[in-house]
Amino acid sequence: MTARTLVKQLAAQPDGPVSVSGWVETVRDQKKVQFVVLRDESGAVQLVHPRTDVEEPGTDPLATAISALSAGTFLTVIGELKHDERVKLGGLEVKIEELEVAAAALDIPIADDSSIDKRLDWRFLDLRRPEQNLVFRVQTTFLHALRTWWVEHDFIEIHTPKLMASASESRAELFEVEYFETKAYLAQSPQFFKQMAQPAGFGKVFEVAPAFRADPSFTSRHATEFISVDAEISWVDSHEDVMAMHEQLLVAGLTAVKEKHGAEIEATFGIEVTVPSLPFPRIPLAEAHRILESRGYTVPRADGDLDPEGERRLAEYVKEQYGHEFVFVTDYASNIRPFYHMRHEGDAGLTNSYDLLFNGVEISTGAQREHRVDVLVEQAKEKGLDPEELGFYLDFFRYGVPPHGGFGMGLNRVTMLLLHQPSIREVTYLFRGPNRLTP
């Protein structure tokens, strides 16, 4: 039997016998000839069958089989490949000789213009769209480039538990689950566990894994389960060391995406992938407020944190002034940062921390961590946390730990903003939100 050839490989094949497998996208059943567009995971190809039953309908079994094909049917076709520049779809076609249906399909219940909620109800069908295929190939390339950069820079990959005995950040956003005779919590982040690698002497670690937030938000950027990209490094002098690592990592990821998918992204989404220059712009939070106010916008949040509109407007300023899609907003106030962020030396009201904005949306938070246990205990108390419940975490720091820092970054947000998609739902394989647990 002829080995299967992917559609993307056909252009390099000589004219002659070929076998292709995929699903039916369209059928054009004309009087003298039939055309089928077959799509697989790599692209689409035109199949053709000149009918032999024009004079005597029903006498061509292959024509009858093609007429019965429904969109979405998976099949294998053996035929003759022919390169023909007149064929609009790829400049080649396959003349059908044999056709074997692997699985017939019912009528597809969604269309390209269906609402996002309806498409998510039928996500396995929605994912057949070429643009969705591209989204996840881009994400694969991006993550592979990140991992390659980490490994080449001597990072260790870790896999931390997602069931926790206590909160890693805020109890307000915890999912509580039954755990035998007690309660457990789904991890909001790997924060405590990636910090544990520092007294363990691992030096530099990373993880790509799910995280969970019981946040009842219905915005385009929020999900209750998401993929968190995390890194933590020892022997930092400040959050500047973390930012330097973070920006180099992103340049590596975006370079790989542009090289492998740049042309296809531009053809599909009308977007030119830009590899950012180094270093990324850095703007302290207080200065960000002054910039926004000088441009007629006052952030309404009482705690001083940037709101989505403030982020968008600051990104516009950075684009105008620096021609850059990224900006680090640094030196956040301690009242809006977790207890484990290190405070400024001489100014406990500020932290050695940052948020990273990409195309006007926050994608990451990073910081230098506080590694002095007595200071950590006091900062936890300030946040209303019980040091007794943090016992296992605080023990990390009682037996020696180097100065360290790291970041957590939302993969789906990065993908959404890279491809200029309207919602995180479009770039999440199976989205989870306050009112969605299926499929």
Q: Are 434 and 157 in contact (CB under 8 A)?
A: no
Candidates 77, 118, 83; CA nearest to 98 is: 77
- 110's CB contacts (< 8 A; 6+ apart) are 118, 119, 121, 122, 125, 126
Q: Is the dihedral of CA 372, 378, 384, 389 positive or negative?
A: positive
Query: Does 365 appear as a known binding residue?
Result: yes
Instruction: Identify the CA nearest to 191 among candidates 161, 235, 221.
Output: 161
Rounded to 10°, the helix 285-294/308-322 angle is 80
- Answer yes or no: is 337 a known binding residue: no
Q: Could you tell me the two tokens for 277?
A: 């220059």
Q: Does 413 belong to an annotated binding site?
A: yes
State the residue for tokens 């932290």. Answer: 351
Residue in the block written with tokens 């213009």? 113
293 is in an annotated binding site: no
Instruction: Say whether 410 counts as a known binding-site residue.
Output: yes
Two structure tokens written together for 201: 């002497």
Q: State which amino acid sits at residue 252.
A: A
Question: How far is residue 356 from each of residues 40, 327, 430, measured CA to CA in Å?
Answer: 37, 6, 25
Task: Write out the H or E segment, with its range, that includes residue 193.
Answer: helix 191-196
SS percent in the chain: helix, strand, coil, step 5: 35, 30, 40
Distance CA 382, CA 420 (A): 40
Residue 335 in marked binding region: no
User: Quick one: which of 360, 359, 341 has its CA closest to 351?
Assistant: 341
Residue 279: is the preceding peptide bond cis (ω within 30°)?
yes
> Is residue 411 annotated as involved in ligand binding?
yes
Does 266 show up as a binding residue in the annotation? no
Neighbours of 45 (CB within 10 A): 28
User: Is 287 labelled a binding residue?
Assistant: no
Annotated binding-site ranges for L-aspartate: 169, 213, 365, 369
Annotated binding-site ranges: 169, 213, 362, 365, 369, 410-413
Annotated binding-site ranges for ATP: 362, 410-413
